[in-house]
Structure 1
Amino acid sequence: MEKGNRVIILILFTLVFSFVFFASFSHNVSSKEASKITISIKSSPEAINETKLTIYQSKIIKEIVKSPLYPSKVVLPFTDTYITINQQSGVRRYLADQYGNLFDVRQLKKVHLPAHLQEQLFTYIEIIKRKHYGELLPWEEVDTIIPRKTKFQVIDLETGLRFNVQRRAGSHHADVQPLSKEDTKIMREIYEGKWSWDRRAILIQIGNQRIAASMNGMPHGFGALRNGFPGHFCIHFKGSITHITRNLDPGHQVMVYKAAGKIEQYLITLNPYDLVDVFLMSLNQNDKQLFKMLLSKNKYKEIPSLLVEMDKIDTISRTTIFDKTNTFNLMSFEIPIEVNLYWKEGGREKRKMNFLLKRNSVTDRWIIDFEELFTD
């Protein structure tokens, strides 16, 4: 960095793990004149918990604002990275993809950034993501970090709420219990006041280490602590399997990768059958961000109406047993299923769904298409 342009860095951590980066040049700039760029990471648009980096550096801001805009060949990305520029002239909002490409939200265009600036933004984004998300560690390693009777903290990725637990059992994933009645109360608050099998992306904090994980919110089995929690609940990590079927649970795994900020990395590994199950999970949990990520571009215009229909669903479960076919070399594949569907306003129906899964090459991930959400 040139002399006279030394950057002064001050990092402040907030209750939602936010930190703020102050950058100024050697000349004096009054607070009234100062412009700022804020980079925010959050796991979904609705998430309360976010990590922010605010930069007071006019050179970066001027370069972004002056960069030309081009029509984007892709729609605005489903992203966890939001960028806001505040100036006296107004506020500009952008989205950034995983490569540091910038998209103007108002004009729906891609910002053509100089290579050095795109690289600089990418570096900042990666720093914030490391603060926001957890390490993606395999179960075999986590098993040694949190042996039985270990106490640690659970942090809900979406809300930032945290509570204390103890691992009591579990050989293929962790069976844990809240430590106290207050911890049970916080866990129940995360699940909006009712116990649920819904999977949620979480971080477990032990010492200075944060590890990506997934929990369900349903007490089951036995519990030994006087905590007002009737049993234990499960926490899964990368590669964890269920104790009964000894299979990976795609719903838990997608939440583990979400907690690590690597959900795309997981989706690309899924075969069409597992992707359909993740799609059904998104309906069950009303996970709009995940739902949209799974869809073909052909469905993007229909997303608002699909989300309205999604909000009417209480639970949905597949009754069709998959007779799995090897799809390794295929570019498209059709999966018809039958489901039991329960509506929030009451009533149960048996419905059919027909999924057309497509990809552009064997190295691309599968995406989901359909004529209608339900075919009858």
Structure 2
Amino acid sequence: MKRLKMLILNCICLSMFLCNPAYANNIVLPSPDWGPAVEIGLERVLRAPNGLLYTRNDKKTFLSETHSLEMELAALRGDLKRFKTQVSLMQKYFVSPSGLLAWELSSTGKKATSNASIDDLRTCYALLLADELWPKENFKKPLITLAEKIRIYNTENDTLLDGASWKQSWFKPLAITKNTSELTLSYADLRAMKMLAKRDENWLPILVKTSGFVITGLFLEEKNAWGYSFEKKEFTYNEENLINTMLHLHFLSSIGIIPTSYGRKYAIELLSTGKITDKSGNENITVYALASLFFKDCGFDEAAEKAYSKLSDFIIDEGKYKGLLGYEQEDKTQTVWAFDNLIALIARELLYKVKISM
């Protein structure tokens, strides 16, 4: 009975912020010009011989984060051939003995012994989209396996946690150790969790309870919530990491939970100053890409267009990384992240080409 009351209260809290996503507006912005160049650049300078994308131009590691974004992009485009390739690479390189995805591979392909629940959930989201697009393909098997491992190892008391770690040797069985008592709010990919809850009733209480923390963290204070510590029973805050904040806002708005006050706050900042910056005055590619999607969900179409147009400021005009989105330092050093470029391509896809039905 106590658990039922908690679920009901969380549902009421969740419903207070529900509305239809602004994708229903069907606003079509002018086609961007950097998309093809970014895709060519990724293949030219960041695609490794094993088929994966390097983390960045000066870091020859591989991230499940990057790979999950590639899977999402292929699913959004309806590119079955590309998606099958990405699934094969996921199974070959990232699936660990735990069944979770190793969050990082070394340059030699050695797997990390921990995962990040956000990356595993994003992979589930891509598999869910693919299963709806191509029901005759066998995407249910990896989806069900990964979703079950997340539920077993990355949740506690029906709440998502950041991840798990594991140990295994040739003479000992696999040992799983939950290495965190925290939920980073942006790790809760509510798109994936909502779709999983429609298929598996075991995910419903996880969606409801986790959503309660994600929503409460946003509206409790004016500061940007980072996460919740279950050990300390308190929210933590970080004013510097706007990527975390925009991911948090994006996952909420993408399923129709529209924090209008935050949309207005960042829209005013962008339209009045021409920028969205952290406390140190830094701008970021991923922040603008996610902000464009968040603003569109909120119905702030002018701000959505402006945020998207800001991505052009990051185009590298010359040198080895010409055409990619990146950062150039005063000493002319250039840094290009696969993550930034893939998030920007996903924003391009969602704003210009597809309408997502959740």
Whichever structure has more strand as a proportion of its residues is 1
Q: Which has the higher contact order (CA 8 A, sep 6+)?
A: 2
Bigger Rg, which one: 1
TM-score (norm 1): 0.26
TM-score (norm 2): 0.27
Whichever structure has more helix as a proportion of its residues is 2
